[in-house]
Structure 1
Amino acid sequence: MSASEAATPSRDLRARRTEALEAAVGAYDIRGRIPDQLDEDILFCLGWASAQAMSEIHSNIEVVIGHDMRPSSAAFADSFARGVEAAGSQAIALGLCSTDQLYFASGIFEIPGAMITASHNPADYNGIKICGPRAGGVSLASGLGRIRDLAPEAPESSGDPVANDDEAAAQMRRRYVERIRELTHVDTVRELKIVVDCGNGMAGRLLGEVFGTDAGFAAVPFEVIGLFTELDGTFPNHEANPLKPENLLDVSRAVVDHGADLGLAFDGDADRCFFIDETGATMSASAVGALVAEREIARAKRAGDESPAVIHNLITSRSVAATIAAAGGRALRSKVGHSGIKTMMVETGAVFACEHSAHFYFDEFYCADSGMLAACHLIAALSGTGSPASRLVADYDLYVQSGEINFTVADPDRVLAEFAAHAGDFPENTVEDLDGIGLQGADWWINLRKSNTEPLVRLNIEAADAEQVKSMTAQVSEFVQSRASK
């Protein structure tokens, strides 16, 4: 059914959709509870609106669609695909895949994409990550706002189910594995033992494709021990959210019990990976980012780029920028968030980008983030040095960080403004507003910023020693909590 043939939605349906979309559409993706914020009708109208917006912005009439293993995801992906086709565009449905595989498909096919996933959120959530052609970043300002505004006007949900394009999916998987192996040479690594906690998420499928024979390649010559590899979006073992320390306990214990060299812990849609050293300790995402940045700068220099740009968000450790400079690269600071970073990479020609939350972006991966590509880089680096994982990143881990601390507040903007006004309560510093309010001291920094989706402010602190971090954390926490309800 074409857009012109479809029935106009009723006033009540438009109103219900508008209310749900206001709650679910965030700064750079769509996320909501099921079924009060997201259901099959909302996915249909978002598919319809995405096709309309991508046609307007990019002149594309095809959209590639993938989905994760959550119980609602397959039906949501079909509803989204039917919406795309109701708008007069073509839906290319890949079926089950990881988010970085969807970005890769958008890259190789040069068309917009949509991944049905709620990433690391609990089982009663779902969502959509939308990208432009070649995995381009999409934010409220660059398309997501237009999609949100168009969606309530979509016709009522209709149409036949959209069949998966098995040929396109097979091509994507084959080229995805080929690209990762070409960039890291992980298929030549020997004499390592790696534990991988898949968290019942999409990484369970990637193990057989990237390290095994499922995509038609020879298996890697090192030992891989998988934990919770069964795809199960109810997350029966633990949340697929490695940002929470309790979700890393299983992989940490398994690394020690198996005498493994390295542990990997993926989030639900496998676009992020956290790392565990041989002692069972969690490795800093900033330290890993610095190590991979050094490798990517060296690669770019071999290709003739004398001063490669590398982006890091403002929450990463100062050791990242120092490593980039020491390696002969140019360090560029960014706000937090994947859409802005991808856009900035394209604009600046950056070869790599990293975030404190273990998002790692690669120019040779269409400037998209890939947990598996980052993991293979670290495995290759570990093999190449012969050092234990703890020693591998020690030189990049020179500061102490607080980790992200969240506060629920009534008026985030007012709290940030008052915090900036009280900068003099801290040792001599420079105030900045790149993303929230930042204080930059001689050997420390503090960042307080508001959430894009919730009435929260998020605190991150770094300093030269643990006592300084503890003291500053207590001082800022008391300040925020005293103003939380005002």
Structure 2
Amino acid sequence: MIDLSRIVKAYDVRGTVPDQLDEPVAEALGRAFVQTLRSRGEFAERVVTAHDMRESGPALASAFANGVRAEGADVVEAGLGSTDLLYFASGTLDLPGAMFTASHNPAQYNGIKLCKQGAKPVGQDSGLAEIRERAQAILEGRGEPAAATRQGTVEQHGMLADYATYLRGLVDLTGIRPLTVVVDAGNGMGGYTVPAVLGEGLPLTIIPLYFELDGSFPNHEANPLEPANLLDLQAKVRETGADLGLAFDGDADRCFVVDERGEAVSPSTITSMVAVRELAKAPGATIIHNLITSRAVPEIVREHGGVPVRTRVGHSFIKAEMATTGAVFGGEHSAHYYFSDFWGADTGMLAAMHTLAMLGGQAAPLSALTKDYVRYADSGEINSTVADPVAKMAEIEAAYPVPVDRLDGITLDFPDGSWVSVRPSNTEPLLRLNVEAPTAERMAALRDEMLDVIRR
């Protein structure tokens, strides 16, 4: 019997197929999703689904739909799509949704990202724990029988054209100067959504890399957070003399940016840049940033009259904070970007469009444009496999008598303005390290010191 506690994480479902996640599990989760929403008075009697390009996606989505239908609810199948396309469908149709994706995880994985009506998040504290318990009971034969008096229906409703039109209405790119853009889709869903959103009618010359949809990821993993997966994009930008490069992860809800020199632009820098644009539209507004973004982000937000709010890492936490505070925008160092005019949900495509608008609205190259937003040296996120993450964090905390924040893992604040974040992954058996310091030399020394403690 599959133990769902191993695959139902803090804010989504993620596991290997078929040993951890198979069709009976997906069907049980579909039933449990409907039961949980009904028990909370949050159900609209229909669910919208979408799936990415992974081979197991259609079968898992169909099984989940069977579970929804067994509970008497109807299913709207958006079919192939990115995660932010599913959020668009949930928002515009005002329906709860289920996206079948394992994001940047390797090919043997798949998963489910769930949301309520209007793309509102579902996490451990907002229904996911109850969904897991109900689904586990169903799989073990202890669940309540489906009380439906009718079998739900299924309808297909493609959303790509409406999604593209909506995004184009939020950021006008028609009047920018001509730009040449290399886009690395990593054989993920960016190869499906980029042509629709950034294609015809815009002053953009798109140079595609790996737009063929292939869930086996034959060229490189669709995880731009790993520097090795940016090498092809960086080389192509330099080779073609492009103005910038964009890299999307597998489900295309995250977007990474490379400047005209082929140098990666920190997601914290993009967060600051987009925050300034959003504050120009909504003076004094709240901007969300997670605890591993650069300290430059809250500094710049305050300098432009905004109110920065710091949160833990993870989309369900940030979306909840977006709703609570009425924030107009939020950014994570993992390159998730959240917008109030996108139902508070994350969309890498909209962040890319803001970057294009900012660059195309002036004459300087991207490297010059970003210079004012970079104030500190950072390590990026470094992952280490450890036997006991909790014990290792306790060891680190005991070794450094400095102020410690425990919002998410531990964050150590040093007197010189340097900080270190060490936290366990919510989706993989890893300990994640982030270091920032006033100088590159101090950052490198602190990074190496921390890695020595973590890996010894």
- TM-score w.r.t. length of structure 2: 0.94
Q: Any conservation in 1 of the 2:238–2:260 contact (CA below 8 Å)?
A: yes
Give the C-alpha shift of residue 27 in structure 1.
0.6
Q: Any conservation in 2 of the 1:78–1:161 contact (CA below 8 Å)?
A: no
Structure 1 match to 2:56: 72
Give the C-alpha shift of residue 455 in structure 1.
4.0
Find out whether 1:91 has 2:64 as its counterpart.
Answer: no
CA distance in 2, matches of 1:127, 1:434: 26
Q: How does 1:57-456 map to 2 (within 5 A)?
A: 57=40, 58-154=42-138, 163-166=154-157, 169=158, 172-212=159-199, 218-301=200-283, 307-424=284-401, 429-441=402-414, 442-456=416-430
Q: Any conservation in 1 of the 2:48–2:89 contact (CA below 8 Å)?
A: yes
Query: Deviations for 1:15-67, whole angstroms, at most 9, x for unmatched residues?
Result: x14x2x12211110111111110111111111111111122221332111000
CA distance in 2, matches of 1:163, 1:189: 42
Give the C-alpha shift of residue 175 in structure 1.
3.4
Aligned length: 447
CA pair 419-234 structure 1, distance change in 2 beyond 3 A: same
Give the C-alpha shift of residue 152 in structure 1.
2.8
Measured on the aligned residues, the alpha-carbon RMSD in Å equals 1.9
Give unpaired runs (5+ residues) of structure 1: 1-15, 213-217, 302-306
Structure 1 match to 2:29: 46
Q: Any conservation in 2 of the 1:78–1:162 contact (CA below 8 Å)?
A: no
Query: Deviations for 1:233-273, whole angstroms, at most 9, x for unmatched residues?
Result: 11111111101111111111111111110100000100000
1:139 alignment partner AA: G
CA distance in 2, matches of 1:161, 1:187: 43
1:126 alignment partner AA: N
Q: Secondary structure at the match of 2:309?
A: strand
CA distance in 1, matches of 2:173, 2:238: 23
CA distance in 2, matches of 1:185, 1:461: 36
CA distance in 2, matches of 1:476, 1:261: 37
CA distance in 2, matches of 1:220, 1:330: 34
Bigger drift between 135-144 and 473-482 goes to: 473-482
CA distance in 2, matches of 1:165, 1:280: 41
Q: Any conservation in 1 of the 2:73–2:153 contact (CA below 8 Å)?
A: no
Q: Secondary structure at the match of 2:264?
A: coil
CA distance in 2, matches of 1:93, 1:200: 22
Query: Deviations for 1:345-400, whole angstroms, at most 9, x for unmatched residues?
Result: 00000010000010000000001000100000000000112110111111111111
CA pair 387-352 structure 1, distance change in 2 beyond 3 A: same
Q: Any conservation in 2 of the 1:177–1:209 contact (CA below 8 Å)?
A: yes
CA distance in 2, matches of 1:228, 1:356: 24
Q: Any conservation in 1 of the 2:74–2:154 contact (CA below 8 Å)?
A: no
Give the C-alpha shift of residue 162 in structure 1.
6.9
1:236 alignment partner AA: P
Structure 2 match to 1:215: none
Give unpaired runs (5+ residues) of structure 2: none
1:387 alignment partner AA: A
Bigger drift between 57-66 and 25-34 goes to: 57-66
CA distance in 1, matches of 2:123, 2:336: 17
CA distance in 2, matches of 1:269, 1:457: 23
CA distance in 2, matches of 1:454, 1:333: 24
Give the C-alpha shift of residue 477 in structure 1.
2.0
1:30 corresponds to which of 6, 10, 13: 13
1:409 alignment partner AA: V
Q: Any conservation in 2 of the 1:60–1:111 contact (CA below 8 Å)?
A: yes
Give the C-alpha shift of residue 309 in structure 1.
0.4
Q: Any conservation in 2 of the 1:82–1:162 contact (CA below 8 Å)?
A: no
CA distance in 2, matches of 1:270, 1:164: 25
Q: Any conservation in 1 of the 2:10–2:123 contact (CA below 8 Å)?
A: yes
CA pair 470-180 structure 1, distance change in 2 beyond 3 A: same
Bigger drift between 228-237 and 92-101 goes to: 228-237
1:383 alignment partner AA: G
1:298 alignment partner AA: A
Q: Secondary structure at the match of 1:224?
A: strand
CA distance in 1, matches of 2:385, 2:441: 25
Give the C-alpha shift of residue 110 in structure 1.
1.4
CA distance in 1, matches of 2:178, 2:201: 14
CA pair 455-238 structure 1, distance change in 2 beyond 3 A: closer
CA distance in 1, matches of 2:312, 2:399: 23
Q: Secondary structure at the match of 1:77?
A: helix
CA pair 173-295 structure 1, distance change in 2 beyond 3 A: same
Give the C-alpha shift of residue 453 in structure 1.
3.8
CA distance in 1, matches of 2:90, 2:15: 24
- TM-score w.r.t. length of structure 1: 0.88
Q: How does 1:453-468 map to 2 (within 5 A)?
A: 453-468=427-442
